[in-house]
C-alpha cells in the first residue's frame, strides 16, 4: 500500500489560511504532495479579516503531515500577483502543476444575513463576488495553462452546497453557486486537453470561526450541542476541515478522477467513495441529515 500516493505531485491551494483550505492543504500533504499554500494572511500582517491564522502555519502543518508545504502570499483578486505565483511554480517545479484548489472566500464579515438584496450594502455584496468568484477565475486563468501544456491536471472549485438552489442571501448565493458553474464550464473547455475540473463542498464545517461562534474548541466541541445554543442540533452533524481534505486527497490520487469532471462532489460522497473518516473516526453524512430535515 502506498502511504504517499501524491508524492512527486504539485498542488496549489488558493485560500489555505484556515478552514477547508487548510484542511485540504494538509490532506494533500499527508498524501505526499508538494503544496503551495497561498492567501493574504502572513505572520505579522493579517488580512482585513484580522484573524490569527497564517499561510506559514498551514505550510508547516503540510510538512508535518508528510508533504512539502510552501507558503506564498498572494491576493488572488490581483492578476499580477496570481501571474507571479504561477510563474514561480513554473520555474521551481519545471512547469508541473497537478492539482489546483480554488478556495478563496473572505466574505465572512461582508454578508448581511436577513436583508433583501436592495437593502444589503452594495459595496460589500460586490466585494463578495470579487473574492469568491473573480478570484477563482483569475487563479484558473493563470494556473490552467500549466496543466494544458502537460495534458493532465485537476482543478477543484470549493463551494457551499451541491446545486443551484437559493442560499438565503443573494450575494452569498451567487458567490457559492458560481463555482459550481465555473467547474462545469471549465470542464467543457478543458476536456480536449486532458484536464479535469469539478466542484467540491464540505457539509456543516467545524472551522475555527464556527468553533468560536459556538464558544467551544475542537477538544470540547460537543459541549455546544447541549448548551441551548441556536442551531446546535445541526452542529452535532458537523465535520472538521480534515474530512473534505482527506476526501479530496483520495480523489486526486484516483487515476480515474476524470470521470467526475463537471460534477459536484460533497465530503459525504467522497467518504462513501473512498472510505474516508474524519480525524475523530466519525463519518458524518450531512447530505442524509439535510434531506431528512428538508433543507437539501
**H-helix or E-strand containing 197?**
strand 196-201
- Measuring CA to CA, which residue among 237, 296, 246 is closest to residue 273? 246
CB 52 within 8 A of CB 76: no
Q: Which candidate, 230, 190, 229, 219, places its Cα nearest to that of 280?
A: 219
Answer for the pair 58, 38: CB distance below 8 angstroms, yes or no: no
Residue in 1, 75, 89, 7 with CA at minimum distance from that of residue 40: 75
pLDDT at 295 > cutoff 60: yes
CATH of domain 10-203+239-292: 3.40.50.720
Q: SS3 string of 199-229?
A: EEECCCECCHHHHHHHCCCHHHHHHHCCCCC
- State the average pLDDT for the chain: 95
Rounded to two decimals, what is the model's pTM?
0.95
Whether the Cβ atoms of residue 124 and residue 179 lie closer than 8 Å to each other: no
pLDDT in tens, 242-284: 999 999 999 999 999 999 999 999 999 999 999 999 999 999 9
Q: Which of 96-110, 142-156, 177-191, 203-217 bottoms out in mean pLDDT, i.e. has the lowest?
A: 203-217
Say what the pLDDT of residue 263 is. Answer: 98
Give the separation between CA 132 and CA 103, rounded to whole angstroms: 8
pLDDT score at 228: 65
Residue 210 has pLDDT above 90, yes or no: no
**What is the C-alpha separation between 231 and 17, in angstroms, rounded?**
26
Q: Give the model's confidence band at 227: pLDDT under 50 very low, under 70 low, under 90 confident, else very high.
A: low
Active-site choice (4, 36, 141, 172) = 172
Residue 172 annotated among the catalytic residues of the structure: yes
Amino acid at each position: 500500500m502506498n502511504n504517499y500516493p501524491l508524492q512527486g505531485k504539485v498542488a496549489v491551494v488558493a485560500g489555505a489560511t484556515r478552514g477547508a483550505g487548510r484542511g485540504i492543504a494538509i490532506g494533500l500533504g499527508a498524501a505526499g504532495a508538494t503544496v503551495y499554500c497561498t492567501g493574504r494572511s502572513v505572520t505579522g500582517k493579517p488580512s482585513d479579516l484580522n484573524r490569527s491564522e497564517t499561510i506559514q502555519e498551514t505550510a508547516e502543518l503540510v510538512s508535518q503531515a508528510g508533504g512539502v508545504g510552501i507558503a506564498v502570499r498572494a491576493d488572488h483578486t490581483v492578476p499580477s500577483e496570481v501571474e507571479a505565483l504561477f510563474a514561480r511554480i513554473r520555474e521551481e517545479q519545471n512547469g508541473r502543476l497537478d492539482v489546483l484548489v480554488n478556495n478563496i472566500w473572505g466574505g465572512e464579515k461582508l454578508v448581511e444575513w436577513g436583508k433583501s438584496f436592495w437593502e444589503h450594502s452594495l459595496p460589500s455584496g460586490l466585494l463578495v463576488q470579487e473574492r469568491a468568484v473573480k478570484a477563482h477565475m483569475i487563479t484558473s486563468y493563470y494556473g490552467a495553462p500549466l496543466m494544458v501544456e502537460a495534458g493532465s491536471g485537476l482543478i477543484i472549485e470549493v463551494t457551499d452546497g451541491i446545486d443551484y438552489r437559493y442560499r438565503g442571501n443573494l450575494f452569498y448565493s451567487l458567490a457559492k453557486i458560481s463555482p459550481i458553474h465555473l467547474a462545469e464550464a471549465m470542464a467543457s473547455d478543458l476536456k480536449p486537453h486532458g484536464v479535469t475540473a469539478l466542484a467540491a463542498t464540505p457539509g456543516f464545517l467545524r472551522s475555527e470561526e464556527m468553533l468560536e461562534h459556538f464558544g467551544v474548541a475542537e477538544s470540547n466541541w460537543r459541549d455546544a450541542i447541549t448548551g441551548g445554543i441556536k442551531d446546535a442540533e445541526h452542529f452535532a452533524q458537523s465535520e472538521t476541515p480534515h474530512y473534505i481534505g482527506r476526501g479530496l486527497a483520495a480523489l486526486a490520487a484516483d487515476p480515474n478522477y476524470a470521470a467526475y469532471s463537471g460534477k459536484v462532489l460533497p465530503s459525504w460522497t467522497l467518504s462513501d467513495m473512498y472510505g474516508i473518516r474524519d480525524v475523530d473516526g466519525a463519518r458524518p453524512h450531512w447530505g442524509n441529515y439535510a434531506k431528512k430535515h428538508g433543507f437539501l
